[in-house]
Structures are given as structure tokens and as C-alpha cells.
Structure 1
Amino acid sequence: MTQAAIGFSIGVLSLHGWFALPTLTTILMVSLLGGGIALFIRFNYRYYAVANVIFGSIAGIIASYSTTYHYVETVKQVPAMGANITIVGEVDSIQNVIIPTDSFDFTAQASLNDTFTLTTPLKLRLFWPQASAFKQGQRLQIKAVIRRPYGRVNQAGFDAETWFVGHRYHGRGTVVSAVVLDADRAVYELSSVSVRQQLFDRAVALMEAAPHRGLLLALSFGVRGDLSDHDWLWLRDSGLAHLMAISGLHIGLAFGLGWWFGKLCRGLLPESPCLLWFPLWLGLLFALSYAWLAGFSLPTLRALFMACLAMLLLRCYVLLPHWTVLLFALALCLAFDPLASYAMGFWFSFAAVAVLLFINASNAPLPDMSIWTLRWRFRIKQLFVLQFTLLLLMLPLQWYFFGGFAFAAPLVNFVVIPWVSVVVVPVILAAIVTLSFPSLSSALWTLADHALFPVQWLGEQTLGHWLHLSSFWLPVGVGCVLLTALLRWLPFSSFKVLYISLALGLVSWQGWRIQTINESQDTSQKSWQIDMLDVGHGLAVLISRNGRAVLYDTGNRFPNGSIATSVIEPVLKAQGIRYLDGLILSHADSDHAGGADFIVQRFSPQWLRSSDVRESYLPCIQGQRWQWQGLTFEVLWPPKRVKRAANPHSCVVRVHDGLLIGDDGKRTEVLFTGDIDAISELLMARLFPMLNPDILFVPHHGSATSSTATWLADMTPQYALVSVARYNPWGLPVKSVEQRYHDKRIPWLSTAEIGQVSLQIAPSKGQKQNRIQFESARRHYQRTWYRSLFVPDAVDVRVDE
């Protein structure tokens, strides 16, 4: 069974390597071939373990294919380009008017449109300003524009499409109007609003004025929508963000409280064989109830699976190693939902438990100490070792998902986890249980709120203690994991201090080496790179060379964030860029300059340029020219600076490397155009008749007011790049404009179709022109089976290399 569980997990996780969904014939052929090999090994060589792993892998592949095929067919019900439809269904998420939100989960069960039919219910993520007024369980008739769950795709930052897959969303949409079908019923009638929603509303009403309401709701109902950006910042920097996801720690506490209460009750009642297992059953009931309050999230399911397995084994008097129980829980979780591995919580949940089991297995047993102070000192030492080992072994996951780690986490968790476990969570559970007694429950919520004051205070002391790691540090992280694991089995324990010292020296040397390489690069290096980030509607382009970078435009700004924080910062950190050498703003529109303040504050550019009057900004006007890292920047437009730069005043910059390869060689030119219009294009065409860039940024996102035939008449760029949102309300890019580029056989690279576009420009040996190597996030380093499902009309771009 153990080998089969291993094989099943491997088979399901192989889904991450599928670039496209295989056909049923392929799956059958692989299954038959694998089954034949397994039978041959089993009966001819008696390698039963290997055969069981193969059989388990086949079962895992079939399970993942079946689930994925059903998911794909369900998503395909949503038209590729979206549709305006009327649907009937049920609200899935819990909300409250006190907690503002603009999105909610909705299960569409029927369609009222003749042209759109539903054969399978759709799980949708819908957006509406009045979303907080809905209640979980209410049936709604909604008119909405729904689309497939498309999202921005970049080399770093939040991957919305993977998140949609991991949470089984089939589409997203915007609500036009909504009607509650059961509005005539009482608000809290059980047939209408869910019991969980009712408990949530009662709890929110009792803690409405609590300073830590967001933390309380996260720890009780798993609802994190009330946490502010400041809360998330100190939670991240302190390494306490894991406490805000109800997981094994919380479920284990609930199980322990239930077991303790059951044991107390059993001691007060007459002895009976029926009460032998009462503490365990009550503990499981407490754990199940807490998981239900949290909405049966993935970490809670993992903890429940482990609790149920442990209880079943105890009930059957079967003793298995902890690793085996974890492995069975992993297989059960993947069997329950093969797509669960696309959720970040899946990896952190199982990895954390695996690390804890590893530490527990390698810890020395508690020595026989008669003095209690010595025993406590030994325990405290073990807890410190546990926290630091957790930090090291979880480092690769932290880097992969968050791009860094909180180096103060071991110390903070050493203090906070016992406090939250012993004080905060029990009080919160008591407050939930006593919701029917408002006065008592309110007092308990107040007590829990006060108990969170030291948690927040300690967390806020770590603000700024988050260490971003670029991809260069990945070998160091993997090395830390391997070294930490090997130290547990190294002989000559008295020399472990020497081993650790050597390891720290190696890590320090690697960090110094990386820093030295980045700083010692000179401007004679030939290659440079252009990254047009996928920012939706707007523009943000990174020009990088020798580990240094200049940013052209900063994307849009929103009420609750900006492109600069969600896209640009993660990409810069992933590339190891801590500071910017320069920032150029094409014009003042929010979709181009919305994140300027954040970029200036966070990355401290050495120089700033814009075509309008801004404090501390140098002018970006026609005739200016400067050098940077061996590249030449020339400003072609506008002719003068204005008070506020609109589209026609966009700062048009030509960047070239000035390389001459051979006697009649040609330099590589890139033209950044901002949002210039037809008149600006005409005037520039007269001023610069020889203008013919190798890489052209399509003006104004491909609108009908730009990219005129006159402008393009004498241009033959190798690539035309356009930054545009896939479902923008302006219909950009205009089909006629796009066709104009296709007619001239100019490759069209759109972020709406292929995500982030990266062009590396380098000399090509033996060629008279530089070599431009093209990569895209959606087609290259982020390629997987669901990308083409969400963007089915994206075309492959052929690049001659």
C-alpha cells in the first residue's frame, strides 16, 4: 500500500509536466504499457515494490486525466471571448456588509439564455461593488459578462490562472445586475442562508469595533478579506502569515481540545465500554467543526485526512510510522482533488508537516533529568532548533512562491505560536461555541482581541525584515536544505560546529560572489534585454544590461494597489535588481504613470525623466540624448515640455546599442512610443524620415488613432510589441490596425496573447546583424496545459534563430 500511495502521488503530480492535455488514446496506451511492464517485473523479477509504484502511478495518471478532462470540458462551456448572459445559481462565499468586498464566489446552475446552455454547474468568481450584501446560500438571478479565468502571466508575481485552477474556478465575470430569488424569505431561514453565514454574521456583529477584527475572522472563519495591506506586510515580514490560514496547527488544537473535553466527560460519567473511544470521537468532531467553519480549505482537509487516518489506525489497533500516515494523507488529498497541487497551500501544508516529522525523527530523546529547569532548558533548545530548521528547509518553497523569506521568523514564531495555541485559539473557539449567548461571546471576543495586541506589536517590530532573493540564490537555498538534512546523519557530532561554520562560509562566499559579479560587469558586455511586462491595460517596460535597469512607464494604479506592487516589483526582485538607474514616464495617464510614486520610493532611481512638469524629474523632450551602460537614448518627441502630458505629448525614446558588426553592420534600435496619436506620428515621420527601428512598441495600444499607414510606410521592424488587456472595454487593439502590421509581415507580440514578452539582443557570430532572441511567459517558461485553455486564440509566434 505504501508503494502504491507513492506511485499514485507521483502519477497525479506528473500533471505539472503536461504542456497539453493528452488524448484518451494516449492515456490508454500509457496505462497498458505501464501495466504490462509492472506485471512483467512483478512475476519475473519479484520486484513487488517497483511494480506497486508503477501500478499506483498509472492510477494517479488516470485520476488526474479524468479530473482535468472534466475541468477542461466544464471551462469550455464559457465562450472563448466571453458572453453577456443571465444565470441562476447560489452564492458560495461568506460576506458581510461591514467588510467591504467587490468579489464573491457563485455556482451557476442554470442559464436563461437560449444561446448559452449549462450541462455542468460553473464555479465563478464574480465582481460587483455590492458583493458584500450577498449571503452564502442565497439563490440569485444574475446578468453578468462571464469569461474564462484569464489572468496576467509574468516571470514573477501572482499567477492568477494557476490560482484559478488550484481553486477549481471555471470562469470569472462582472455582474451587471442581480436579483435575490428568495428575498421574500426571512434572512436567516435555514433553507436560504447557510448556517456558516449566520454564525459569521453574529460573530461580526459582536466584534464590529474590535481593533483586530481582521485577525479574529481569519483565525475563526478563515476569512482574510478584512486584513489590511499593513496587516499583510507585518505578517509577511514576521513569518506569521501561516497563522492566518486555518491549517494543521489550528485543526490539531481543536482536536486536542475536543479530546481533553471528552476525557474530562468520560471521567465524570460511569465507566462503560461505549465511552472508551469517546475522547477521540469528540476530538474528531471538534476538528471537523473547525474545518467546516474555515470552509474546508485545503490545509484543513489535509489535517482532517491525517486525523481521520490516525483515528482509524488507533481504532483498528494498527501502528504505522508517521511518515506513512503523511503519505496516505497526501494520496487521499490528491485523490479527492488532483488539481489541489496547483494551490500554494498544498505545498506549504505537506512540506511543513514533512519537515516537522523529519525534525522529530532526528531529535534525540529527552534525557532523564530530575531537575525541571534542565528539562525546560532542553525543551526550549529543541524549539529553537525546530524553528531554525523549519526556516532552512522551507527556504526553496518560500523563494519559489514569495521570492524571499522572513529571516526573523524563527524568533517570532518561537514566541507567538505557543501564545496563539494556548491562549488565542481556545478563546476564539469558546467565543464561537457561545454565540447563542451574546454577552458571554462578546466578552470572549474582546478577550481574544486583547490577546492579539502583543502578537501585532511583535510582528510590527519586524517590518522591513523581509529578504528578497533573486534566482541567483536558488542554489544556495537548495544547498541549505541538503546541508540541513545531511547534518542529521553526519558522524562525529562534535565536528558539527565545524560543518556548520564551513556551510555558513560557503553561503557567504556565494552571496559575495553573486554581488561581485553583478557589480563588476562593465559596459563592454554586448547583450541587453527588453522586458515588456504583462500589466493588462497600460505599459511597463524594463531595459536591462549588466544587472542594471531602466524602467519605461509603471503601469496602472488601483484603489487597493497598483501594477508596480503586484507585477513590477516581483519581476525586478526575481531578476536581482534592487535599485533602478532610471525611470522614464511617457505621459501622465494613470495606466502609464500610476505606479511612479511607489517605484521612486522603493527602487530609488538615480534619474527621472518625463515630458510634463514634475518635481525632481528631468525633461524628456526632443533633442535630448544620453548614454547608459553603453546604450544611447535619444528623445524624438515631444518638442517641448507641458504642464500635464496627454497622449500626443508622450515621450518617444529611441534606444540603440551603437554596435557595428563588420564594415556594413547595423545597430539594433528600439522605439518606445507611449500613446502618441496620428498627428504626432505624421510630424515625427517628417522630422525623422529614416526612422526604422528593429523593435517597435505599437503606439497607444493599437488604437484607431495611431499606427497610421504614413507612420508605418518606411518601417520594417522585426517585431511589433503591444501591451494590452485581453478583455478591455475599448476593443484594443483595433482589428484594422493589427491587420496593417500583418500586411507588412511584421510579427505581432501582444501581452494579451502571450503574456510577458522578453527580447534579448546580442551579437551573432558571423552575422551582420545582432541576434534578437524572443521568449514569452505564456509560451516558454510558464507553459502548461491550461494556458491555451484560457487563451485559445493565441497564435504561435515563429522566430528565426
Structure 2
Amino acid sequence: MDKRLFCFCAGISTLMLWPWLPGWDWWLPLAWLGWLCWRARPALACLLLGIVWALCYSHWQLAWLQQPALFQKSHIIAGSVVDAQHRDRGASRLIVSLKSLDGQALSPRPRVLLSWYGQGAAPARGDEIHSVSRLQPPHSLHNPGTFDSARWLLGQGITARGYLTGTLAHQAAVPSWRARLLARFRQLTDGQPARDWLLALSFGERAGLTPADWEVLRALGISHLFAISGLHIGLAAALGVLLGRLTGQPLAAALLGGGLALAYAWLAGFSLPTQRALLMLLLWLALLCWGRFWSGRRILLVTMALLLATMPWLALNQGFWLSVLAVAALLACAGWLGGNNLWRLQLGLTLLLLPLVMLLFGGVSWLSLPVNLVLIPLFSLLLIPLLLLACLLLVPAPGVAAWLLHGLGRLFEFLLAGLHWLAHALSPWLMLSALAQGIVLLAAALLLAGLLPRGRPVAWLALYLAGLQLWPGPSWEVRVLDVGQGLSVLVTQGKRALLYDTGNRFPSGFNMADAVILPLLTRLGIGRLDYLVISHDDSDHSGNREHLAATLPVARRLGAWPEGPRCRAGQRAEWGRLQLQVLWPEASTGHRNNDSCVLRIDDGRLALLLTGDIEARAERALLGRGPRLDAQLLLSPHHGSRSSSTEAFNRAVAPQLVVHTAGFNNRWGFPSPEVVARFAQQGVPQLVTGEHGMVHLAASGDRWRLVNARRPGPWYHRLNAWLNESKPLE
């Protein structure tokens, strides 16, 4: 049975790796093959069954996206708010289950993520809304180390995102019992500095935690303590079982434990982590009452099979795999090391999950083990039991609940002050470059090879992959980053780097430096910039200049800086093997598009031309001045706007490749059809960062070698191509 369950889960999980989404009609031959294999190879049949179900489910959920002009115009939508995250600044985020689109009923009801920019109160969970909305398919910026939002959206069951442009009707839901308890909780904790932390631990409401708070939790390796999941649900059940045993009836103990766990999951809004933990716990309690024994492995596999059968896209959810592998590692440690020693269990769990945490988050916390050894007992024996007791007393004894919450708030103030001090004074989070991660994985693979009876092939494979990592790379490389509608280009010679522009920074606090540039630099092992060039003052080019200058050592600044050397035509510099030459402007304030710093970088055989946002007037002036403009790689001026890239300028540059730095589905329609047609008439290949992702090129003699020939990754990174009949994915 275990083997069949494992194969069924593995079959569904293959959707993480599909390079394209197979056609709907693939299910029939796969199902027929599975039926033929059932008697002789039941495990293979279960694997095929999982693949068939994942395929059918994906087409069933995505079918509504193929409606004509879905993403080209606004639509009237009607639906109910499944979840709402309200923020003090920036847009509130609503997850809405759509009932109809332009008056047409939808089945199944798709989930969409909508941004709310209204001035009044945003809709709350359970509200019915009738609104005007613009939608777009799941899409993510694609750069090494960048958060994969397309995968995250599908992993949450969300098949489109967008924003509300107008509200036609808004019907508030009748407050549920949970909403009333939450309102009472907020009232009793009003004014407490630790209120947001108490809300996260009791009701799973984490919108109040700031990015700085999450940085502290990540640095100390304790994010799991503030995300209600297995530890919290298991603790609630344990408290119920202990109380139930006082009656002397095993059935009463199981029922009380299950009931308390169910109540805690209800308080937390039945989030996905609580659902996983609750299902596993209820299954174990049912077996206990039934008098049957299943191994922990079987309970885990049954839980996985039930969850994946209900929603196959959970396989795209990183939290799902973190919790599953954490339970598997805990079972392995309990079997190998014994289950009575907390220190040994925590050490084994930390070591087993180290590669996964490193790959998912790009680093490790060297302080995680001792901090968890202190905090897990503290949370388990004191903080969570008292918090649950306070929640139980919110209605029958609000005075006692207020007294408990006040005491817990003071405890959390002291605790959080200590955690912030540890995170900032000791800096325990170690961001690892790709090379450092490879060394860690190599060591783990060699250790595994030593433990396995026939591990020599694993060792040889690990050493071969290590040799590939150490092989010398090209003399210089160019990475045109995918920063949405904006510009940022990284030029590297080994560990030496020049950054041209920094992408945008938004009022909500989200910025391309933290989301894209810094993770990429860390991955490449680059800790300083030789040059930070800002073409001009537009925020989509300069939005992160101060932040990057404060975060990284910068040897030389150039361009649109409040203080520092401006770009002037004729400036030259030697940078390693490369020559830097400023071609424009003659005199600059840095405030206008035509003041953009035009920079030519070459090694004598191969050249790159960076043009910022110059327009036709500046292009004509450049042609009149007569500097050398030819370059094998050109970044189209002004993101491919029709105000730029004149035919004469394009012919003077004579590029082998043009990159348009235009965001996916941007509202300006960049690159413009006229510009695309001009380059096409010239026979020049073109790439758009919003469609392709980061464009990575390496110097190869007198030509550029495109390292990533197409947008990398599985099928959900190319959903737009699947929806566009001119570029079919299947």
C-alpha cells in the first residue's frame, strides 16, 4: 500500500517538472496504459493515475483563461472574498472566488488575486463584490534568486491576478463567529506593541508583520513558530488529550484532543498549513480509537495522497513540501536517534532540512539550532497554551482573557526585543552564493555516498558536477535583468561588476533591489560594485540608487546622482579588459529622457550599447556628433518606445541582437509594433525581458552567446504562450 500511495503522489508531483502542459486528450492513452498495468505493475498504474489526474485538473482549472480578450480589456466580475490582507500603506490584497464574468457564470469558480486601491474600507472576508477589474495570467519576474510568484499563485489555487478599477456593488457578509472573536481579540489587545504577533499566533493573521519582522524570523530560523502549522495543531491536540485522560476514557481523550485541534485550525481560518496538520492528526486519532496501528510513514503518505487528490496544485506550494519533508525528517530522526532527546531530534532535523532550506531561501542560519531549542519548549509549554486559554475565554470571561492577553503581550515584548537584538547584533543569517551552495550539496552528496552500500556512482556524479562549477567562465558577461517595466543591466568580469540602472521602487516598499538585484549578486558571489551608473532620474531607472549605495560598497558612481560625477560625452575609462566610453549627453541635468547616459562597453572585438531612455532627438544628435555607435548588442532606447529607435540610428548601431527592457503586459504597449517592425526589417533578432525573463549573454569571440535561449523553467512560466494561439505551448 505504501508503494502505491507514494507512486500516486509522485505522479501528481511530476507537474512541477513538465516542460509544457500536455493537451487535454493526453489523458486517454495514459489512463488506458495505467489500466493495462494495473494487475502486473500496480505501482506504475498509480503513478500514471496521478499524472492523469494532475493533467485533467490543470486543464479544468485553466480553461476559463482561454476566453477571448480576457486580458485585453476590463471586465465586470462578481464573486465572494475568500481572504483579505489589509495593509497600512499600498494596496490591500483580496483573494476572490469568481461567480461570473461579464454576466456569464463560471464553473469551476476560479480564484483570482486582486489589488484594492480604494479610499474607503476594503472588502472583508466573506463579502460579496460586483466590480470592474483588469486581469492578467499568473506571471513572475524571472531572474536567479527571484521569488517565483507564478508558482506561488498556482500553488494557492489562484489562476489570475489583477486590480479593481471600480466597485459597482459591495455586500458585507454577516460577521461569522470567527470574525466576532477576532474583533473582540483586537479590542482587548488595542494599543499593545506585540498585538500583531499575538494575532499571528492565535488567528493566523500575519498581515501586520512587517518585512523587517520576517527578516528577523528568517535570520533566526524560527519562521515556523509564527506560522500556525503542525507544531501548534499538535500542541493543541496534546493539551486536549492530557485533559481527556483525566476522565480515564481513551475515547474522550481522543475526542477532546481532536476537538481542540479543530478549534485552533478554525481560529486560524483553516489555512493550508493547518489543513495538512489537522488531517494527519485526525487520521492518527481515528486509528487510535479504532485500535489499529499504522506507521508514521503510512499516515504521512495517506495525508499527502488525500491532499494532493483534493488539490493537485499543492505540489507547486513550497510550504506543502517544507511541512511534508519536515515530518519525514522528524520520523527519520526519531527512528535513527531515538525519540526521547529533544536536542538530538532538533539537531537531526536541522541537518536533514539544511539542503532544502538553503535551496529555497538561498542561505542558512547558524543560530537556528540553539534558538529553536529554547523557543520550542517555551512556546509549547507556556505561550501557546496561555494564548489558547485566552481565546477560549474571549466570550465567557473577557476580563480574564484581557488580563491574560496583557501578560502575554508583556512577555512577547521582552522576547521580541531579545530576538531583534540577536538578529541585528550577531547577523546569524548567511546568504550563500551558488558556488557555496554547490559545495554544501557536494559535501552532503559525498556523505550520502559514504552511507549508501552502493554509493560510488553518487560520489562520482557529485565530483563531476563540482568540476563543471569550477570550469573557467567567459571573459565577460551581460545580464539584462527582468525588473518589470524598468531597466537594470549587470555587466561582470569574474567577480568584478558594473550595474547600469537599478529598476523601480514602489510606495508599498516593494523594490527591485531587494527582489532582484541583491539576490542575484549574492548568488554570483559579488559583494561590491566597481561602477554604479544611473542613466537618468526616472524612478524605473534610479529608484534604488540610494538603497544599493547604502547596502553595497560602490567604488565609482556615475550619472544621475545628487552628488557625484555626471555623464559627459567623451569620458573614457579602462575597466579590467574592457573600455568604457560615454557617448551622450554633452551637458546633462539627468532629469529628462534625452539626458540619459549612453554608455558603450567593448573589449576590442565585442561591444554593448546602453542607451537609457533617449529619444529620436538625442539619437539624431548622436549621429551628428559621429562617435562610434556600432555594437553587437543593443538595449533598445526607452524600452522600445516608438519615440526612439529611428531607422538611421538602428542602422548605425547594426546590432546582432536587440533586447527590449519592457515589462510583461505593460500598459504602454512596449515594445511598440513600429519599433519591432524596424528591427525585423533589418533582420535583427529581438528579445523582450517581460516575455523571456533575464537575458544572459556571454562573450564568445566576436559574437554574443545567449546562455538562456528561451524562458527557462516548467510550463507555468510560459502560460502566456500557451494562451496565445500564435505561440502555442502544446
Above 0.5 in TM-score? yes
Residue 402 of structure 2 corresponds to 442
Residue 565 of structure 1 corresponds to 514
CA shift digits 1:711-753 (9 cap, x unpaired): 2233321111111122333332222222222222221211121
Q: How far off its partner does 1:605 sit?
A: 1.8
SS at match of 1:452: helix
CA distance in structure 1 between the aligned counterparts of 2:681 and 2:292, rounded to whole angstroms: 73
Residue 353 of structure 2 corresponds to 394
Given the superposition, is the C-alpha separation of residues 549 and 389 from structure 1 closer, same or farther in structure 2, using an over 3 Å criterion?
farther
Residue 220 of structure 2 corresponds to 238
Pick aligned residue for 2:233 from 241, 251, 260: 251
Residue 251 of structure 2 corresponds to 277
Give the residue type in structure 1 aligned to 2:376: I
Q: Is the 8 A contact 2:34 2:49 kept in 1?
A: no
Residue 587 of structure 2 corresponds to 640
Q: How far off its partner does 1:589 sit?
A: 1.2
CA distance in structure 2 between the aligned counterparts of 1:29 and 1:737, rounded to whole angstroms: 46
Residue 74 of structure 1 corresponds to 64
Gaps of 5+ in 1: 43-50, 184-190, 268-274, 367-381, 491-502, 659-666, 764-768
Within-5 A mapping of 1:443-482:
443-460=403-420, 461-463=422-424, 464-482=427-445
Give the residue type in structure 2 aligned to 1:154: N
CA shift digits 1:254-307 (9 cap, x unpaired): 11122223333x25xxxxxxx541111121122122222223222212211211
CA distance in structure 2 between the aligned counterparts of 1:453 and 1:684, rounded to whole angstroms: 61
CA distance in structure 2 between the aligned counterparts of 1:80 and 1:94, rounded to whole angstroms: 24
Given the superposition, is the C-alpha separation of residues 194 and 111 from structure 1 closer, same or farther in structure 2, using an over 3 Å criterion?
farther
CA shift digits 1:615-637 (9 cap, x unpaired): 3x333221111122311111101
C-alpha RMSD over aligned residues? 2.9
Given the superposition, is the C-alpha separation of residues 527 and 286 from structure 1 closer, same or farther in structure 2, using an over 3 Å criterion?
same
CA distance in structure 2 between the aligned counterparts of 1:795 and 1:395, rounded to whole angstroms: 44
Q: Is the 8 A contact 1:150 1:790 kept in 2?
A: no
Q: Is the 8 A contact 1:83 1:147 kept in 2?
A: no
Give the residue type in structure 2 aligned to 1:389: G
Pick aligned residue for 2:554 from 576, 601, 605: 605
Within-5 A mapping of 1:334-483:
334-364=308-338, 382-436=341-395, 437-460=397-420, 461-463=422-424, 464-482=427-445
1:619 aligns with 2:566: yes
CA distance in structure 2 between the aligned counterparts of 1:389 and 1:476, rounded to whole angstroms: 20
Within-5 A mapping of 1:367-766:
382-436=341-395, 437-460=397-420, 461-463=422-424, 464-482=427-445, 526-559=474-507, 560-610=509-559, 612=560, 614-615=562-563, 617-642=564-589, 644-658=590-604, 667-688=605-626, 690-763=628-701
Q: How far off its partner does 1:531 sit?
A: 0.9
1:154 aligns with 2:143: yes
Q: How far off its partner does 1:223 sit?
A: 1.9
Given the superposition, is the C-alpha separation of residues 303 and 338 from structure 1 closer, same or farther in structure 2, using an over 3 Å criterion?
same
SS at match of 2:652: coil
1:212 aligns with 2:197: no
CA distance in structure 2 between the aligned counterparts of 1:257 and 1:698, rounded to whole angstroms: 64
Q: How far off its partner does 1:327 sit?
A: 1.9
CA distance in structure 1 between the aligned counterparts of 2:585 and 2:485, rounded to whole angstroms: 23
CA shift digits 1:554-577 (9 cap, x unpaired): 000112131101111111122222
Given the superposition, is the C-alpha separation of residues 57 and 720 from structure 1 closer, same or farther in structure 2, using an over 3 Å criterion?
same
Given the superposition, is the C-alpha separation of residues 653 and 89 from structure 1 closer, same or farther in structure 2, using an over 3 Å criterion?
same
CA distance in structure 1 between the aligned counterparts of 2:695 and 2:444, rounded to whole angstroms: 33
CA shift digits 1:487-521 (9 cap, x unpaired): 9899xxxxxxxxxxxx9xx99xx99x999x79xx8
Pick aligned residue for 1:198 from 164, 177, 180: 180
Out of 76-85 and 281-290, give the one that drifted further.
76-85
Out of 73-82 and 717-726, give the one that drifted further.
73-82
Given the superposition, is the C-alpha separation of residues 783 and 63 from structure 1 closer, same or farther in structure 2, using an over 3 Å criterion?
closer
Give the residue type in structure 1 aligned to 2:108: T
Within-5 A mapping of 1:20-99:
20-37=20-37, 39=39, 42=40, 51-77=41-67, 79=69, 81-94=71-84
CA distance in structure 2 between the aligned counterparts of 1:569 and 1:80, rounded to whole angstroms: 35
Residue 221 of structure 1 corresponds to 203
Q: How far off its partner does 1:24 sit?
A: 4.1
Pick aligned residue for 2:163 from 156, 174, 181: 174
Residue 782 of structure 1 corresponds to 713
CA distance in structure 1 between the aligned counterparts of 2:667 and 2:150, rounded to whole angstroms: 21
Pick aligned residue for 1:770 from 698, 703, 710: 703
Give the residue type in structure 2 aligned to 1:468: M
SS at match of 2:162: strand
CA distance in structure 1 between the aligned counterparts of 2:726 and 2:688, rounded to whole angstroms: 10
Given the superposition, is the C-alpha separation of residues 95 and 466 from structure 1 closer, same or farther in structure 2, using an over 3 Å criterion?
closer
Q: How far off its partner does 1:94 sit?
A: 4.3
Aligned length in residues: 714
Residue 188 of structure 1 corresponds to none
Within-5 A mapping of 1:240-319:
240-264=222-246, 266=247, 276-319=250-293
CA shift digits 1:60-112 (9 cap, x unpaired): 11221121111221333484534311122111114568798521111121234
Given the superposition, is the C-alpha separation of residues 669 and 607 from structure 1 closer, same or farther in structure 2, using an over 3 Å criterion?
same
Give the residue type in structure 2 aligned to 1:129: Y
Q: Is the 8 A contact 1:151 1:161 kept in 2?
A: yes
Q: Is the 8 A contact 1:587 1:593 kept in 2?
A: yes
CA distance in structure 2 between the aligned counterparts of 1:196 and 1:759, rounded to whole angstroms: 54
Pick aligned residue for 1:163 from 140, 152, 165: 152
Given the superposition, is the C-alpha separation of residues 480 and 179 from structure 1 closer, same or farther in structure 2, using an over 3 Å criterion?
farther
Given the superposition, is the C-alpha separation of residues 783 and 60 from structure 1 closer, same or farther in structure 2, using an over 3 Å criterion?
closer
SS at match of 2:171: coil
Q: How far off its partner does 1:479 sit?
A: 4.3
Given the superposition, is the C-alpha separation of residues 302 and 143 from structure 1 closer, same or farther in structure 2, using an over 3 Å criterion?
same
Q: Is the 8 A contact 2:697 2:704 kept in 1?
A: no
Q: Is the 8 A contact 1:762 1:771 kept in 2?
A: yes
Residue 110 of structure 2 corresponds to 122
SS at match of 1:277: helix
Given the superposition, is the C-alpha separation of residues 308 and 221 from structure 1 closer, same or farther in structure 2, using an over 3 Å criterion?
same
Give the residue type in structure 1 aligned to 2:388: L
SS at match of 2:208: coil
Q: Is the 8 A contact 1:95 1:132 kept in 2?
A: no
Q: How far off its partner does 1:710 sit?
A: 2.6
Q: How far off its partner does 1:639 sit?
A: 1.1
Q: How far off its partner does 1:535 sit?
A: 0.7
Given the superposition, is the C-alpha separation of residues 365 and 432 from structure 1 closer, same or farther in structure 2, using an over 3 Å criterion?
closer
Given the superposition, is the C-alpha separation of residues 629 and 294 from structure 1 closer, same or farther in structure 2, using an over 3 Å criterion?
farther
Gaps of 5+ in 2: 454-458
Q: How far off its partner does 1:127 sit?
A: 0.7
Residue 17 of structure 1 corresponds to 17
Residue 456 of structure 2 corresponds to none
TM-score (normalizing by structure 2): 0.91
CA shift digits 1:627-672 (9 cap, x unpaired): 2231111110111343x432111110001121xxxxxxxx111100
TM-score (normalizing by structure 1): 0.84
CA distance in structure 1 between the aligned counterparts of 2:545 and 2:90, rounded to whole angstroms: 27
Which one has a bigger Cα radius of gyration? 1
SS at match of 2:423: coil
Identity %: 32
Q: How far off its partner does 1:328 sit?
A: 1.8
CA distance in structure 1 between the aligned counterparts of 2:326 and 2:68, rounded to whole angstroms: 37
